[in-house]
Each structure stands twice: as structure tokens, then as C-alpha cells.
Amino acid sequence: MRWSDVHAAHPDRWLVIEALEARTVGNRRIFDRIAVIETCDDGRATMKRCGDLRRRYPDREFCFAHTANPELDIEERRWIRIRGRARRR
């Protein structure tokens, strides 16, 4: 599906989506084809579910968005992770 189809089919909802076909233009991620994985009423629950899916399926590209946005605008960020031992108190 395209975002315009998803936007029309799920009005005023939080969604967990998966990029089936995507590309990067500049620092923007363009999703040409997406699949709706789950719909939610709450943004916090959507973020949690998206994080769970990313950990479970690290090779797949999941994202969350609200259908109030007429266009899907996703900025690509490179994260630098530093591993270390958590400080215990």
C-alpha cells in the first residue's frame, strides 16, 4: 500500500507500519510500499510495540506514524551506540 491509501483507510489512528519498499533521498526515508502491522489508539503503546518488533525482527524496517499527517515524512538518523556496563547503585 501507499501512505495515501493507508491514510484514507485508517483515519485518526496510530499505526505500526513496515517498509516493504523504501529508499533514502538526502536525509529522508521514502517508503514506496508499506504494510500496516498494527493500529493503536495511544501513541505510547504504538512506540512500545514498534520497539518490540524492531528487537524481535532486526532485519525488517518498522516505523510508527499517525494518520493525521497527510504525508509520511521520516528523517533518517544514524545512531552511534556506545556499549558499556550499566552503573549499579
- As a whole number of angstroms, the distance between CA 22 and CA 39 comes to 21
- As a whole number of angstroms, the distance between CA 88 and CA 6 comes to 45
Hey, CA dihedral for 29, 51, 7, 32, is it positive or negative? positive
**pLDDT for the residue 39:** 94
| Total domains in the fold of the chain | 1
If you average pLDDT over residues 67-84, what whole number do you get?
80
Q: Is residue 85 part of a domain?
A: no
Q: Is residue 84 part of a domain?
A: no
Q: Is residue 81 part of a domain?
A: no
Q: Is residue 68 part of a domain?
A: yes
56 pLDDT above the threshold of 90: yes
Range of the domain at 22: 3-75
Mean pLDDT of the chain: 88
User: Does the model's pTM come out above 0.85?
Assistant: no
